[in-house]
Chains A and B, each alone.
Chain A
Amino acid sequence: MSAGRRLRSASIVVAMSATGCALDAGHGFGTIEDATFSAVFVAGAARDLGDSTVLTDLAYHVRIEHAELEVQSVALEELRGAGGAVFDPAHPPPGYTLCHGAAGSGDCHHEDGRVVSYAEVMAELAGGSASFAPVVSFALDARLDLLDGSIVELPEPSPSRELPRATLSRLTVRATALSVRGEVSAGPEVGGLGPRVVPLRIDLPVERPITMGLARPLDRDHERAIQLSVAVTVDGALLDGIELASLAEDPSAPIVIDDPDGAEAERIADALAASDVEVAF
Chain B
Amino acid sequence: MTRRRAWRVVAIVAAVAAPSLMGCGEDEPAVEDPSEHACEHRSIAGAALASSAERATAPTITVGEETYTVTPSATERTYLRVVVTRDTPALLFTSVANVVTGLYEGDAQVTLPAGAPNELCAAEIPEHFDLDFHEAGDWFIELGPSAVPSFWLLLTEATGHAHEALVQSPSPPAAR
Residues of A within 8 A of B (CB): 19, 21, 44-49, 55, 57-59, 78-80, 82-90, 97-104, 106-107, 109, 111-115, 118-119, 121-122, 126, 130, 164-167, 169, 186, 188-189, 217, 235-237, 240, 274, 276
Contact = CB atoms under 8 A, between A and B. Distances in A.
A105 to B, nearest CB: 10
Interface stretch (B15-23, B44-52, B143-151): B143-151
Contact of B163 (A45, A78, A99, A237): A99
A100 B161 contact: yes
B95 to A, nearest CB: 9
B85 interface: no
16 contacts: A45-B96, A55-B145, A57-B98, A57-B144, A57-B145, A59-B75, A79-B169, A89-B162, A89-B167, A101-B163, A102-B163, A109-B113, A109-B130, A115-B113, A164-B173, A166-B173
Interface centre among B89, B151, B168 (most CB of A within 10 A): B168
Interface in B57-111: 74-77, 89, 96-99, 101, 111
A89 B163 contact: yes
A80 B166 CA distance: 19
Contacts of B173: 164-166
Interface of B: 74-77, 89, 96-99, 101, 111-114, 116-117, 119, 126, 130, 132, 144-148, 151, 158, 161-174, 176
Secondary structure at chain A's binding surface: helix, strand, loop or mixed?
Answer: loop
A144 to B, nearest CB: 22
Contact of A99 (B77, B148, B162, B170): B162
Nearest to B77: A57
- Most B C-beta atoms less than 10 A away, residue of A44, A122, A169, A237: A44
Contacts of A107: 116
A98 B161 contact: yes
A148 to B, nearest CB: 22
Nearest to B112: A113
B147 A59 contact: no
B79 to A, nearest CB: 14
Contacts of A57: 77, 98, 101, 144-145
Contacts of A169: 170
A44 B98 contact: yes
Contact of A90 (B119, B145, B164, B168): B164
A112 B165 CA distance: 25
Given A83-B169, A100-B162, A113-B112, A235 B98 contact: yes
A130 B165 CA distance: 22
B37 to A, nearest CB: 14
